[in-house]
Structure 1
Amino acid sequence: MQNIFEMAKKNLEKAAAAMKLDPKVAKILEQPERTLEVSIPVTMDDGRIEVFTGYRSQHNTALGPAKGGIRFHQDVTMDEVKTLAFWMTFKCAVIGLPYGGGKGGVVVDPRKLSRSELERLSRGYIQRIAPIIGEYDDIPAPDVNTDSRIMGWMVDEYSRLRGHNVPGVITGKPKTIGGSAGRGSATGRGVMFCVREAFNVLGIDKSQATVAVQGFGNVGGFSAKLIHDLGAKVVAVSDVNGGIYNEEGLNPYDVEKYVKETGSVVGYPGAKAVSNKELLELPVTVLVPAALEGQITAENADRIKAQVIAEGANGPTTPEADEILSAKGVMVIPDILANAGGVTVSYFEWVQNLYRYYWSEREVHAREEELMVKAFNEVYKASQKYQVNMRVAAYIVALERLSEAMKLRGWI
């Protein structure tokens, strides 16, 4: 994860140099405003006590309260949490959300816990971090190995501590207790909006465009389906077990049914088997890496044939690969823009919670489209103005907002 922090810092440095950023702003952004480490004692089903370590980092609140997910993973560290909170600051700023960056985590392998142990851990974590979170302070959400059910326990625990219902303290909740319509497809939908806007600015005919999607989970699955609905031809998809390719096109909805029946895309009838590495190098118009970080590197970047790369995953492209792709004229729509649809709809959930008034799915989609399209065009204009790639331009747009907010608050 330190690798991701180095990547993020390099992009910050490039953007700062291009826009001649006030060095005081960069200095403030180098460190989180606040971090918290907690011990969480949990009574296990056999009566013994286990003590788990939890973290929360609030990186920067110049634009508003901290926002960011909670992950349950055996390898979580404070460094990782601080890095991810740093990233969230830029993701929220580039979209124009009134949020700063936050992130949390618990060191645990949740697969080793029973349902009741997982619930006690989730509630215990909220008890420990309750003093620094709140609907106007820091709003957690799901992340790796956490989901809407866990968010339901967490919002209930926080509300119990406060003595009244506080739905706005957590996003990503089940819809019945204050979750938003349209949240499931939000990240993949944001990827699709970015791809569509890239087609517009590059003059690509969507009906002639071909697409490969690495990763067929929530983000990759919805990206594939929605780009297919847009009219482009999805020719390849993959999951952790391998990939499938058909140059005549795949129907992602049929692939999804096959995955539900078999557990993987592998073996889908009428398609050739390809590895995850081979998928990245297919002759396609658009590549959507929506799986793991560090997939596009200095080793394979030169063999990538896509005109557009839309980063559904966090950190799929290394800085060295970025340089190679830029030199080749590939448009890389960076993660902090391309996959920001999730936090955008989390913001909508929070707004709805504060008002206790809920929008239809159509309204959520329309509002997400408005913010994502606006952000894409601002980043594209910045890339033209400063003669930089889309990633550096995204950091420039974010830094302009952060810098202005810090100055107006009198921080610098």
Structure 2
Amino acid sequence: MTTPLLSLTWTDEVTGRQGFLVIDRLVRGVSSGGLRMRPGCTSEEVAGLARGMSLKEALHYDPEARYVPLGGAKGGIDCDPRDPEAYGLLVRYLRTMRPYIESFWTTGEDLGLTQEVVDRAAAEAGLVSSVQAVYPLLDDEAGARRRLADAFAVEVDGIGLDELVGGCGVAESVLTALDRAGVPRWRTRVAVQGLGTMGGATARFLTRAGLTVVAVADIKGTIANPAGLDVESLLAARDAYGTIDRAALRRGDRELPGEAWLSVEAEVLVPAAVSYVIDASNQGRVTARWIAEAANMPVRPDAEEALAARGVTVLPDVVVNSATNAWWWWTLFGDIGASADEAFAHTRRSMRALTDLTLARAEADGTTPRAAAHAIAEDRLPVIAERFGRHR
């Protein structure tokens, strides 16, 4: 991994907890990357995520589009978001990071934090917006901000559009892989770990595409049904953290231990919660043909190597879960309007093209999809730097 442009560690004077910010690189003086809050978050983790953001931004570079990819960054706070001290800690972190957010770090929701909470805390910390650093790059700032606000107000079946586009992108990546392999959707079973924003939307889109979700896992354990789960009822029964009320289970639904989702009979696994959940010690339990990384860095490198040797394809996070970030910028820069139909159509088209390109490159190079995606991004980074200046 290359050395990031900036890496800092902050210690909260009130609680003694730590927060981190890593700016991997800047493009036109600005970087993009969400803010996560989880117990055990480390600076090394945040650095890896920031590098991943640089790659995601580069993968979505289209010289004909209004949206110009930014640099990569990430923030992290070592705290359980359910902790009573979490919100005050978040406000103090944002207040400390205010100069960076005002100048060159655009951020938003990530693991453990919703955009609503980030926005509320940002306002309390004295910020205009968590993405205000990008405003000077806009041709019509007022119109762009209004368009993004309108897009965030859009709901589809009672769920905010901003909570759905990421899962739409994950689902499209999975569908592209299935189509390339000639695997019928109706014969494809899916297990999802994490039924929060990303996992829940992914389960919904895959179900509506004709796949069968046979297992979902949350903090309480795994819920499984080989005949298929009622995804909509489970989504309606989850709390703000993606934990499912077990009263919503139907006859035939079984409660299993937490890691059971790894080894259920399914063709596709979707880790959509925390990082590092599949490692060398448990990868042997995986029987699926594909793993779609809806979460950031859920598969450790040594596990991925062993999985590849067994014929399991990992669809990498830098491709699979990149639609949420891209949707923000497609909307803000004006490539799409504040419309669910436009958002989903553009997301599907872009994610299908990117996934197809990645899988084709992997086949041509004889490498993994992750290596192929990184190669594509590394090809584009110098092109972006040449066009907009070398800010790293």
- Tell me whether the two structures share a fold, i.e. TM-score over 0.5: yes
Q: Which amino acid aligns with 1:152?
A: D
Looking at structure 1, the residues matched to 29 and 352 of structure 2 have their Cα atoms a distance apart, in angstroms, of 22
Q: 1:219 Cα shift?
A: 1.5
CA contact (8 A) 2:27 2:390 kept: no
Aligned counterparts of 1:348 and 1:291: Cα–Cα separation in 2:
25
Mapping of 1:211-250 within 5 angstroms?
211-250=190-229
1:81 lines up with 2:40 in the alignment: no
Secondary structure of residue in 1 paired with 2:269: strand
Give the residue type in structure 2 aligned to 1:248.
A
Query: Is contact 2:56-2:319 (8 Å) kept?
Result: yes
Distance 1:95 1:410, change over 3 A: closer
Which 5+ residue runs of structure 2 have no aligned equivalent?
Answer: 62-67, 155-160
User: Which residue, out of 300, 304, 325, partners 1:318?
Assistant: 300
Letter matched to residue 141 of structure 1: G
Q: Once the 2 structures are TM-superposed, how far is the Cα of residue 302 of structure 1 from its aligned partner?
A: 3.4
Contact persistence 2:214–2:225 (CA under 8 A): yes
Partner residue in 2 for 1:290: 272
In structure 2, what is the equivalent of residue 67 of structure 1?
32
Which of 1 and 2 has greater Rg?
1
Corresponding position of 2:255: 273
Counterpart pick for 2:97 among 107, 112, 129: 129
Distance 1:298 1:38 in 2: 32
Q: Give the secondary-structure state (helix, strand or coil) at the position aligned to 1:234.
A: strand
Which residue number corresponds to residue 152 of structure 1? 119
1:58 aligns with 2:23: yes
Q: 1:246 to 1:93 in 2, by over 3 A?
A: same
- Spell out, residue by residue over 1:180-234, the C-alpha distance to the aligned partner (whole angstroms, 9 max, x if none): 7421112211110001101110000111211111222222111111100001111
Distance 1:71 1:88 in 2: 13
CA 1:309 to 1:174, structure 2 compared with 1: closer, same or farther past 3 Å?
same
User: What SS does the aligned partner of 1:144 have?
Assistant: coil
- Aligned mate of 2:152, from 153, 176, 179: 179
Asked if 1:396 corresponds to 2:375, the answer is yes
Q: Which amino acid letter does the alignment assign opposite residue 54 of structure 2?
A: T
RMSD: 3.7
What is the CA distance between 1:155 and its match in structure 2? Answer: 5.4
So what's the TM-score if we normalise by structure 2? 0.80
- Cα distance in 1 between the residues matched to 2:319 and 2:270: 13
Would the aligned equivalents of 1:287 and 1:306 in 2 still touch at CA under 8 Å? yes
Q: Is residue 345 of structure 2 the alignment partner of residue 366 of structure 1?
A: yes
Partner SS for 1:57: strand
**Equivalent residues of 1:383, 1:389 under 8 A apart:** yes
Q: Tell me: CA distance 1:222–1:134, structure 2 relative to 1, closer, same or farther (3 Å).
A: same
Instruction: Identify if the C-alpha distance between structure 1 residues 127 and 283 changes in structure 2 by more than 3 Å, giving closer, same or farther.
Output: closer
Q: Contact (CA 8 Å) 1:152, 1:174: kept in 2 or not?
A: no
The verdict on how the C-alpha distance between 1:205 and 1:265 changes in structure 2, with shifts beyond 3 A counting, is farther
Q: Which amino acid aligns with 1:195?
A: V
AA of the residue aligned to 1:179: F
Q: Work out the CA distance in 1 between the residues paired with 2:145 and 2:110.
A: 9
Cα offset for 1:406?
3.9
Check 1:213–1:126 CA distance in 2 against 1; reply closer, same or farther (3 A cut).
Answer: closer
In 2: Cα distance, 1:401 partner to 1:175 partner:
27
Q: Could you tell which deviates more after superposition, 185-194 or 175-184?
A: 175-184
Q: Tell whether 2:323 aligns with 1:351.
A: no
Quote the offset at 1:151 in angstroms.
3.3
In the alignment, the residues of structure 2 paired with residue 114 and residue 134 of structure 1 have an alpha-carbon distance, to the nearest angstrom, of 23
Q: Which has the higher helix share?
A: 1
Q: Which amino acid aligns with 1:245?
A: A
Would you say the 8 A contact 1:210–1:285 is kept in 2?
A: yes
Aligned mates of 1:76, 1:54 — CA distance in 2: 8
Q: CA deviation at 1:57?
A: 2.2
Counterpart for residue 64 of structure 2 = none
User: What do residues 58-93 of structure 1 show as CA deviations (whole Å, max 9, x unaligned)?
Assistant: 111247720011234564444443332122112222
**How far apart, in 1, do the equivalents of 2:36 and 2:239 lie?**
25
How many residues align structurally? 365
**Cα shift at 1:403:** 3.2
Report sequence identity in percent.
Answer: 26
Contact map agreement 1:65 1:98 (CA 8 A) in 2: no
Task: State how far apart, in whole Å, the 1-side matches of 2:201 and 2:278 are.
Answer: 21
- Cα displacement string for residues 364-386 of structure 1 (whole angstroms, at most 9, x for unaligned residues): 11121222112111211210221
DSSP-derived class of the 1:365 partner = helix
- DSSP-derived class of the 1:253 partner: helix
| Residues 242 and 266 in structure 1, CA contact (< 8 A), matched pair in contact too | no
1:72, 1:172 → 2: CA distance?
Answer: 26
- C-alpha change, 1:189 and 1:39, in structure 2 (3 Å) is same
Q: Find the aligned partners of 1:263 and 1:107 in 2 and give their Cα distance.
A: 21
Change (3 A) 1:306 1:155: same
Distance 1:329 1:359, change over 3 A: same
User: Which residue matches 2:182?
Assistant: 203
Aligned partner of 1:5 in structure 2 is: none
Deviates more, 1:257-266 or 1:296-305: 257-266
Structure 1 residue 144, shift from structure 2 partner: 3.4
Q: Is the 8 A contact 2:220 2:243 kept in 1?
A: no
Q: Cα–Cα, structure 1 residues 60 and 108, in superposed 2: closer, same or farther, change >3 Å?
A: same
> How far apart, CA to CA, are the structure 2 residues paired with 1:50 and 1:215?
29
Partner of 1:113: 85
Partner of residue 107, structure 2? 140
